[in-house]
Amino acid sequence: MECYQCIQAGITREAAGLCHHCSAALCLEHICAVEDPITLSHVMAPSVVLAKRARVLLCSICKAALEQPCAEEMVFGNVAR
């Protein structure tokens, strides 16, 4: 598969991964790896954010969209904080 953003720019480059949000294929230059905190939710106790964080690959467009205020909760589902 080839990088979607490179194709849009008229270049052909092998993709290294997929955007978690829009599933666009992305090369290493265009892929953004962000940290996704893992939250354990208990009914009777406050939710706990674990020390190790998961990885989410995003394209620059989705990363910018998800970094808008209040967007993170909607996408990653970490409602309890």
For Zn ion, the closer CB: 56 or 59: 59
Q: Does 18 bind Zn ion (CB under 5 A)?
A: no
- Smallest distance from Zn ion to CB 11, Å: 7
How far is 2 from 79, CA to CA, in rounded Å?
A: 35
Q: Which residues pair with 55 in a beta bridge?
A: 35
For Zn ion, the closer CB: 22 or 79: 22
Beta strands in the chain (DSSP E): 17-18, 25-26, 31-36, 39-40, 48-49, 54-59
Q: Does 22 bind Zn ion (CB under 5 A)?
A: yes
Q: Does 3 bind Zn ion (CB under 5 A)?
A: yes
